[in-house]
Amino acid sequence: MGDLALAAAQAAVTDAFRSEWGRVVGYLIRVTGNWDLAEECAQDAFERALERWPRDGVPTDPGAWLKTTARNRAFDRLRRTRVGDAKLKEMTMLTPANQPTEGGDTGIDDDRLRLMFTCCHPALPIEAQVALTLRTLAGLSTPEIARAFLIPHETMAKRLTRAKRKITVAGIAYRVPAAHRLGERLHAVLVVIYALFNEGYGASAGEELIRRELCAEAIRLGRLIAELMPDEPEALGLLSLMLIQDSRRGARVDATGELVTLEDQDRTLWDQAEIAEASRLLDRAVRLRAPGPFQLQAAIAACHAHARTAGDTDWREICVLYARLCDLVPTPVVLLNRAVAIAMADGPAAGLALVEELEQSGALRDYYLLPATRADLQRRLGRHTQAADGYRRALELAPTDAERRFLTRRLSELSSDPR
Amino acid sequence: MRYALLVCVPETEELSEADSERQYGEFMAFQDEMEGRGVLLARERLQPTALATTVRVRDHGLVVADGPFAETKEQIAGFYIIECADLDEAIEIASRNPGARHGTIEVRPVWEI
């Protein structure tokens, strides 16, 4: 065999891993009911593909080959145990691997969708939901997930084990929820995908490569759910929102690794193809006439994306969108962002009043962006002593080095100002 | 699947006779509905924790004391054992219990041998 053929077969396995892993695991969980067995046998099937495909050629339907191989492996392993024997009888009654489940491979009856809803069941802790989604659906290994979340491998392994145990012992059903529960459960899934995205987007220093991978995985999962549930406007809204945020990736950090605010970003570096796709998705979502928090956030992000310069930003429109967002989800973070928009539309004093109100309510006490925002508005009002206090407080709370450096820079700009 | 639903409610609140009667009626309605549905295996209402006694055996022997020591605001006021398809159904049943509106229902899977 030539090197080229070998490389082609290996590339085919890598491609199949990306596109088929979630399907193979999802299918095996459905037929065996055993999450660990499903993961192990899926892993085996991909290892076998690495041996066989270079020798025998890539099968015409790689997904079906992988499912059949993984299922046979599961059969073999179950045959060796008594509990497995009973399970096996049950399994042979089920549909063979190469046939789609009832309803076909797209639409509501997809194994990956089942997997997603089960991983994101609200009875599981949110960190476990995110980790389980990455492991079973996206196929990241436990050490990779542990690295991405900056926690020890052992801790992550325990977290995954506990989550899988709870699914089995507490009887979390492996299915897409009933229609009357679908709305709230879909929201939970979207929140997990967005948390994943933000985990990657929030940090720009340190583990940058792995972090970027998290954003890419979140977008991939967002695409999947938007494709599987094309009439759910919030799923389209989330994908649109992530794409717009991702379009700024190249402009968010400068050559020296420093954070650049939206206002100061070089807008020619924004990925216009992503922005265009995001706009199309948002248009589709809006036509479904069921507004929701992700669509509104995407619409706000789109206002920024379509402004050619920071000065062109339509802050009036953004204020209107924030008002609607506050009606739906009046969380302190949304209120803080709205205060910033109002400061841009009506002047820093109007925004500052809202920020101070928020501060007095005691919300966001440990959130660095609260004192940082107050300090920015005070700076713009010329109250430099107060602003300096705010930046110092924000510095104590800021989570990453890049953010601390940014605040230090702002603080030093103040001190060099004669006023 | 069998689950225990532990009804945890604040004990501090003093109810008027009318409210107390209304609440009793609501719990009875829940119970009737669940019996009709065939999911109820057992149920008990408990006396307040003021009437509870704690028992421990330690190195120095038997220690009997008044009340629970837990300082939590919500206390277990009663429990149900139910049998249903899965956690989603157990959650649905728990959400219909009147205690869920002012307290918390803890849904615990029963240890199956």
The string of DSSP letters for A121-176 reads: -TTS-HHHHHHHIIIIIS---HHHHHHHTTS-HHHHHHHHHHHHHHHHHTT---SP
Query: N- to C-terminal Cα distance for chain A?
Result: 75
Task: List residues of B whose CB lies inside 8 A of any A CB.
Answer: 1, 3, 85-88, 90-91, 107, 109
Q: Looking at the partner chain, which of A171, A173, A177 has a beta carbon nearest the beta carbon of B109?
A: A171
Question: What stretch of H or E contains B80?
Answer: strand B74-83
Per-residue CA distances from B108 to A344, B17, B73, B90, B112 (Å): 51, 32, 20, 9, 12
pLDDT less than 70: residues of chain B: 13, 69-71
Do the chains contact at A123 and B86, CB–CB below 8 Å?
no
Q: Give which of A274, A269, A239, A234 is closest to A253, Cα–Cα.
A: A269
Residue of B82, B87, B108 to mutate for A, most A C-beta atoms under 10 A: B87
**Packing angle of the helix pair A233-247, A208-228 (nearest 10 deg):** 150
* DSSP string of A282-299, one letter each residue: HHHHHHT----HHHHHHH
Q: What is the pLDDT of residues A131-149, one digit of tens each?
A: 999 999 888 889 888 887 7
- What distance in Å separates the CA atoms of residue B102 and residue A47, rounded to the nearest whole number? 54
Which chain B positions have a beta carbon within 8 Å of A121's beta carbon? 87
Q: How far is A173 from chain B (nearest CA, A)?
A: 6
Q: What is the pLDDT of residues A255-303, one digit of tens each?
A: 887 778 899 999 999 999 999 999 999 999 999 999 999 999 999 999 9
pLDDT at A204: 42
Report residue B61 as tokens. Answer: 């022997």
Q: What is the DSSP letter of A269?
A: G
Max Cα distance, chain A (Å): 82
Report residue A165 as tokens. Answer: 């145990």
Entry pTM: 0.80
Name the residue in chain B with its Cα closest to that of A169: B109
Taking one residue from A and the other from B, the number of pairs with CB-CB distance under 8 angstroms is 23
Do the chains contact at A171 and B91, CB–CB below 8 Å?
no
- Within 8 A by CB and 6+ apart from A266, the residues are A251, A260
Name the residue in chain A with its Cα closest to that of B107: A170
Do the chains contact at A171 and B86, CB–CB below 8 Å?
yes
Which chain A positions have a beta carbon within 8 Å of B1's beta carbon? 171
* Burial (CB count <10 Å: 0-12, 13-18, 19+), residue B68: middle
**φ, ψ dihedrals at B64, nearest 5°:** -110, 135
Q: What is the DSSP letter of A314?
A: -
Per-residue CA distances from B9 to A116, A206, B13, B103 (Å): 34, 47, 9, 4
The tally of CA atoms less than 13 A away on the side-chain side of residue A273 is 0
Q: Looking at the partner chain, which of A123, A171, A181 has a beta carbon nearest the beta carbon of B1?
A: A171
| Residue A404 one-letter amino acid | R
pLDDT in single tens digits along all 419 residues of chain A = 578 888 999 999 999 998 899 999 999 999 999 999 999 999 999 999 999 999 999 999 999 999 999 999 999 998 887 666 666 666 655 544 444 444 333 345 688 889 999 999 999 998 899 999 999 988 888 988 888 777 899 999 999 999 999 999 999 999 888 888 888 899 989 998 998 898 888 654 444 555 777 899 899 999 999 998 899 999 999 999 999 999 998 898 888 877 788 999 999 999 999 999 999 999 999 999 999 999 999 999 999 999 999 999 999 999 999 999 999 999 999 999 999 999 999 999 999 999 999 999 988 888 899 999 999 999 999 999 999 999 999 999 887 777 888 899 999 988 655 44
- Of all residues in chain B, the percent with pLDDT exceeding 90 is 66
Task: Work out the number of other CB atoms within 10 angstroms of the CB of residue A419.
Answer: 7
Do the chains contact at B87 and A181, CB–CB below 8 Å?
no
Q: What is the DSSP letter of B93?
A: H
Assembly ipTM? 0.86
Residue of A168, A169, A182, A185 to mutate for B, most B C-beta atoms under 10 A: A169
Name the residue in chain B with its Cα closest to that of A173: B86
Which chain A positions have a beta carbon within 8 Å of B90's beta carbon? 171
Sign, CA dihedral B20-B25-B30-B32, equals positive
Token pair 């036509």 is at which residue?
Answer: A287
Q: How far is A181 from chain B (nearest CA, A)?
A: 10
- What distance in Å separates the CA atoms of residue A54 and residue A70, rounded to the nearest whole number? 18
Do the chains contact at A173 and B88, CB–CB below 8 Å?
yes
